[in-house]
Amino acid sequence: MAFSLIQLVGENLFTQRVRDDQRIAETLSEQIGDPLVALDIDALLALARGVADENGARVLVLDPYGVVQADTRSELSGTRLSNREVERVLSGSAESDYGFYDAGGSGGFWVRSALSLYENVRSMNGLYAQAISRGGERVGALVYITPVQEIYENLRSIQLQILSWMFVVLAMVLIVSMYIMRAVTRPIGDLSEGIRKMSGGELSARVEVRGHNEFSDLAQAFNSMSERIEALDQARSQFVSSASHELKTPLSTMKILIQTLLYQDPIDPGMAKEFLNDANQEIDRLSRIVSDLLTLVNIDSGGMKLNIENIRLRALLDEQIKRLLPLARENGIEIELEARDEVSVPGDSLKLQQVIYNVIDNAIKYTDRGGVVRVQLSRSGKRAIVRIADTGQGIPEKDLPYIFDRFYRVDKARSRATGGTGLGLSIVQQIVQLHGGKIQADSTLGEGTTFTIDLPIQP
């Protein structure tokens, strides 16, 4: 842009000048025709001097052979000029012609100069050759020479200014783009540093969120992702540690039983039987825990597939209550079913059985003798509601939010005594959620607990 601008300005200035020179030279060549034909050199010179002085120019008048008849500086009189412009005009191939000559150059005035702005020219002149004709015949030529050094120098200084501005702008563009680059690369650098740390196992890695743009959104997304991963990781280690602990307890019990038997000599058959019976119970407990753990792991890994069919809930509830009746009787607890109409839901029969069994089983186990477990089935809009209420001991308010957590038990001793693993409700919740449903617990300490299971009737 800078270069074309200089070119444009230059062309404009010079074109203007050439036009002015042409006008002057044409007028003068008209006036000079007669004195030239008459070889009235004095009159010729007077005319030429008048114009030359007025414009700060030099005028030469040439005869048809190129010999200088008059020179306003009287230096070249009598010599023959043979530069390009003069030759073209005298030979008749042009009416007028224009060229530039550097009078300060090493080759002297008559070395034609290209109008280059990149050379240091000391005295640039414009030379305008104009034919002088009389009656259709070429009687000579007029050479009009004006200094254009000033225009030339102005152009050079404009060029210099434009070039220096160009460098300033270039430097500014560089600085600004470096700044922008930094602004762009810094958050990306932070982010990749964060990712590197995360993949190196440093799950607490977070990146700084600066400003409000796509990068800060990205940083925020990264942070919430790493928070989740960290939480999951913690939950996982917590789970592994609780699971190991749960498995260790029956193992330790068995170890003691077996050791006691081993050091008995001779072994008392009655006691041995009793100990073996205890060990057998511990093994049952172990396998319950392991199978619950396997169920949970299966759900966690997304491996649990629901075998969806139409489930008639009243029938299902009835069946599970029947299964648990012996246990209820043993604990002196009554079970009531209130279900006026049958309600069907899409679901996995075995899994839903497991859900109902677990919740009623809890209700029986955590209710004291003489209590009642009331099972209700109803329909509310597009949802089936199963309510299992007991008149048991209830759950303290502070424990209520955690009862669906893995291994969470309000009363460890009681849970263990009744063969609980602390995994029942978390399996129940997972299955209900897999069915698109919800489970909720409400409890009043000392009065009882109500579990509400809410399942969608349409898939």
Ligand X SMILES: Nc1ncnc2c1ncn2[C@@H]1O[C@H](COP(=O)(O)OP(=O)(O)O)[C@@H](O)[C@H]1O
CA-atom Rg of the chain in angstroms: 55
Q: Which does 449 bind (CB under 5 to 8 A by kind): ligand X, Mg ion, none?
A: ligand X
- Provide, rounded to whole angstroms, the least separation between the CB of residue 411 and ligand X: 6
- Provide, rounded to whole angstroms, the least separation between the CB of residue 366 and Mg ion: 9
Nearest Cα neighbor of 130 from 101, 84, 98, 99 is 98
Toward Mg ion, which CB reaches closer, 98 or 357? 357
- Provide, rounded to whole angstroms, the least separation between the CB of residue 241 and Mg ion: 21
Q: Which does 422 bind (CB under 5 to 8 A by kind): ligand X, Mg ion, none?
A: ligand X
Q: Do residues 318 and 277 touch, judged by C-beta distance below 8 A? A: no
Q: Which does 421 bind (CB under 5 to 8 A by kind): Mg ion, ligand X, none?
A: ligand X
Q: What is the binding site for ligand X (CB under 6 A)? A: 358, 362-363, 366, 390, 392-393, 395, 403, 408-411, 415, 420-425, 449
CA-to-CA distance for 225 and 221, rounded, in angstroms?
Answer: 6
At which residue do the structure tokens 């966690």 appear? 300
User: Amino acid identity, residue 374?
Assistant: R
Q: What is the helix, strand, coil percentage profile of the chain, to 5?
A: 55, 20, 25
- Provide, rounded to whole angstroms, the least separation between the CB of residue 255 and ligand X: 23
User: Amino acid identity, residue 346?
Assistant: P
- Provide, rounded to whole angstroms, the least separation between the CB of residue 425 and Mg ion: 6
Q: Do residues 372 and 401 touch, judged by C-beta distance below 8 A? A: no
CA-to-CA distance for 302 and 394, rounded, in angstroms?
Answer: 33
Categorise residue 392: left if φ over 0, alpha if ψ from -120 to 50, beta otherwise: beta
- Provide, rounded to whole angstroms, the least separation between the CB of residue 200 and ligand X: 37
User: Amino acid identity, residue 297?
Assistant: V
Q: Which does 392 bind (CB under 5 to 8 A by kind): Mg ion, ligand X, none?
A: ligand X
Nearest Cα neighbor of 209 from 195, 196, 223 is 223
User: Amino acid identity, residue 367?
Assistant: T
Q: Which does 250 bind (CB under 5 to 8 A by kind): Mg ion, ligand X, none?
A: none
Toward Mg ion, which CB reaches closer, 344 or 452? 452
- Interacting span for Mg ion (CB under 5 A) from 85-93, 281-289, 301-309, 420-428: 420-428
Toward ligand X, which CB reaches closer, 9 or 400? 400
- Provide, rounded to whole angstroms, the least separation between the CB of residue 375 and ligand X: 12
DSSP symbol at 267 = -
Site string for Mg ion, 355-374 (x = CB under 5 A): -------x------------
- Provide, rounded to whole angstroms, the least separation between the CB of residue 193 and ligand X: 42
Q: Which two tokens stand for residue 31?
A: 């006036």
Q: Which does 35 bind (CB under 5 to 8 A by kind): ligand X, Mg ion, none?
A: none
- Provide, rounded to whole angstroms, the least separation between the CB of residue 356 and ligand X: 13
- Residue 140 as a binder of Mg ion (CB under 5 A): the answer is no
Q: Which does 363 bind (CB under 5 to 8 A by kind): ligand X, Mg ion, none?
A: ligand X
Measured from each CB, the residue nearest to ligand X is 420
CA-to-CA distance for 347 and 339, rounded, in angstroms?
Answer: 19
- The 10 Å Cβ neighbour count of residue 250 is 20
- Residue 424 as a binder of Mg ion (CB under 5 A): the answer is yes
Strand ranges across the sheet with 124-134? 68-71, 58-62, 137-147, 124-134, 96-102
- The 10 Å Cβ neighbour count of residue 32 is 25
Q: Which does 96 bind (CB under 5 to 8 A by kind): ligand X, Mg ion, none?
A: none
Toward Mg ion, which CB reaches closer, 107 or 419? 419
Toward ligand X, which CB reaches closer, 293 or 410? 410
DSSP symbol at 111 = S
Paired strand residues for 98: 128
- Residue 392 as a binder of Mg ion (CB under 5 A): the answer is no
Q: Do residues 435 and 456 touch, judged by C-beta distance below 8 A? A: yes
Toward ligand X, which CB reaches closer, 271 or 445? 445
Interface residues with Mg ion (CB under 5 A)? 362, 420, 424
